[in-house]
Structure formats: structure tokens, C-alpha cells
């Protein structure tokens, strides 16, 4: 699509999970950098979606409701994006609330582990950092940075919070990718596997597509270089040919904040063609 408009970002986080900006402010920032299509995909919550949609309507920005499920497959963390989900589905919201209760308990266990290392974290400070959103390890990391225990979030994960590190706490119960896919289907959403470069699960991706529950691949992501993009473009084409179906190709910045990640980048740097957003919306509408 040479010359196509590239004003879409289909992977954004707000303070409803571990992003740096409230939904309204994030939408305004998206407007400032010229984005026309965006998706709010917070971790295991849809709490920021409605506010973002309302703000988007004021500024001519199409906001696609979404979520990013944290799952585990054979010991590997796998994230599944759900788009166009019914954010008012009662059973769905109850399940997400149970997830939040487990996240808070996990955080409390992390605080206890830090205490044994003579690092006294205050639960209230972590909750303040989360600002009513979905509590995660990045919130703990940010408090550690403020305390001067580590220089940045990356170091907090390297020394304390990453898997196998002294203050890591395994989730009480890990959702499987298939469970996440089932929830997305139940809420009439479109399911996409997020940043697959992290997992090396091509065979599983083909298997999940074969169930009819996975509808596409996040081919374009800030951590996908051109070689990786080419690999997942080819994988998508291969699956389409083998199964005689049409898969979606999506992408986005996975934006949290300007200083997020090992290689920080400003909002608007990683973006995808508008046509990919339009195709996603069309698929969402076909499921309603």
C-alpha cells in the first residue's frame, strides 16, 4: 500500500493499567501527533475505554475498544489482544474484577518479599501509582525508582521483579491463551496475538487460528524490526494459504509513556496504515 496514510496505532495503554496517561489525556496526545485510529488495550481491564471513546468523539479520532490479556502457555507468557469486545458484558466484567483481586494479592506478596530484603515498600504508594487501575509489576517498579532503590523500571525488573528474581511472585492462577480467546469470542470481539516475537510459538499460533478463535497477528510492533515483520507477514500468508481463510495484520506502539521500555520512544513514532484499522473495524462489525 505505497503512499497509504499511516495514522493508526492499535496498541495503547492508559493509567487504567500500567500506562502513563489517563484515557482522556492520552487521546489528546494522539490528536497532537495526528493519529486518527487508536485502540485502548490495557492489561486485563476495560476501565479506560469509555472515557477514551468519549474524548475521541470530540476530536474526530476513532477509538476501538480493546484489552490485552496476560496468559501462560507451557510456561511462556503470551499476550492476547481483544478488539471490539462488549465492555458492558456482566460475566466478562465479573471475571475481570476477580483478576484485579488476584493482582492486588500478588502485589501484597511482593511487598512482603521486599521487606525481607529490608526494602520497605508501602502498599498505599503502589496503589497511588496504579491510580485505581489494574495493578502490575510496573507500578511496583516505579515506586522503587522514586525511592532511589533502582535507577529505572528496567533495572527494577532485572534485579527484583523479573521471573526468577527475588521478589517475583507467580500469579495465583494463569489464564491460558485458549481461555482468553474464548472470552473474546463470548464478548463478540476479534482476537489478535500480541508481539509474537516475544514467544517463538509459530506452531501454536497456527493451531489457535485453526480453532477459529484467533483472527490475526500483530505483525507490526515497536519491537519488531524489518526482519521480524517479514517473518510474521510470511507466517500470516502461510496460514491463510493452508487454512483457506483471511487473517488480520495489526500493529501498534504498545505505548505506555515516553520513557517506557529499554529503548524509549515518543508517541506516534510506531504507527500503521489506516487501512489495517479499517479492516479490523470491518471484522469487528461482522461479529456484532
Predicted pLDDT of residue 1: 43
> In the chain, which stretches have pLDDT less than 70?
1-3, 261-262
Predicted pLDDT of residue 136: 87
Predicted pLDDT of residue 170: 86
Predicted pLDDT of residue 2: 45
Predicted pLDDT of residue 258: 87
Q: Yes or no: is domain 8-89+189-287 CATH 3.40.50.720?
A: no
Q: Show the 3-state SS of the chain.
A: CCCCCCCEEEEECCCCCCCCCCHHHHHHHHHHCCCCEEEECCECCCCCHHHHHHHHHHHCCEEEEEEEEEEEECCEEEEEEEECCCCCCHHHHHHHHHHHHHHHHHHHHHHHHHHHCCCCCCHHHHHHHHCCCCCCHHHHHHHHHHHCCCCCHHHHHHHHHCCCCCCCCCCCCCECHHHHHHHHHHCCCEEEECCHHHCCCHHHHHHHHHCCCCCEEEEEECCCCHHHHHHHHHHHHHHHHHHCCCCEEEEECCECCCCCCCCCCCCCCCCECHHHHHHHHHHHHHHC
Locate the domains of the chain by residue range. Answer: 8-89+189-287
Amino acid at each position: 500500500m505505497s503512499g497509504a496514510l499511516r495514522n493508526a496505532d492499535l496498541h495503547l495503554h492508559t493509567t487504567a493499567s500500567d500506562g502513563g496517561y489517563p484515557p482522556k489525556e492520552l487521546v489528546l496526545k494522539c490528536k497532537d501527533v495526528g493519529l486518527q485510529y487508536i485502540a485502548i488495550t490495557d492489561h486485563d481491564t476495560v476501565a479506560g475505554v469509555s472515557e477514551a471513546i468519549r474524548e475521541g468523539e470530540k476530536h474526530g479520532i476513532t477509538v476501538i475498544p480493546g484489552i490485552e490479556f496476560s496468559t501462560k502457555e507451557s510456561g511462556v507468557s503470551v499476550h492476547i489482544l481483544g478488539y471490539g469486545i462488549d465492555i458492558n458484558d456482566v460475566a466478562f466484567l465479573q471475571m475481570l474484577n476477580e483478576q484485579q483481586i488476584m493482582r492486588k494479592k500478588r502485589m501484597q506478596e511482593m511487598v512482603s518479599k521486599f521487606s525481607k530484603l529490608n526494602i520497605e515498600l508501602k502498599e498505599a504508594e503502589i496503589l497511588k501509582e496504579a491510580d485505581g487501575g489494574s495493578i502490575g509489576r510496573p507500578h511496583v517498579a516505579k515506586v522503587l525508582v522514586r525511592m532511589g532503590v533502582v535507577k529505572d523500571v528496567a533495572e527494577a525488573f532485572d534485579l527484583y521483579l523479573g521471573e526468577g528474581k527475588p521478589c517475583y511472585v507467580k500469579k495465583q492462577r494463569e489464564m491460558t491463551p485458549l481461555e482468553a480467546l474464548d472470552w473474546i469470542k463470548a464478548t463478540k470481539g476479534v482476537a489478535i496475538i500480541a508481539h509474537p516475537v516475544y514467544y517463538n510459538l509459530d506452531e501454536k499460533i497456527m493451531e489457535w487460528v485453526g480453532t477459529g478463535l484467533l483472527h490475526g497477528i500483530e505483525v507490526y510492533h515497536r519491537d519488531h524490526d524489518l526482519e521480524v515483520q517479514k517473518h510474521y507477514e510470511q507466517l500470516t500468508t502461510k496460514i491463510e494459504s493452508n487454512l483457506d481463510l483471511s487473517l488480520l495484520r495489526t500493529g501498534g506502539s504498545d505505548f505506555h509513556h515516553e520513557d517506557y521500555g529499554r529503548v524509549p520512544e515518543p508517541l506516534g513514532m510506531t504507527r500503521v496504515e489506516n487501512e489495517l484499522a479499517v479492516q479490523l473495524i470491518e471484522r469487528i462489525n461482522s461479529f456484532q
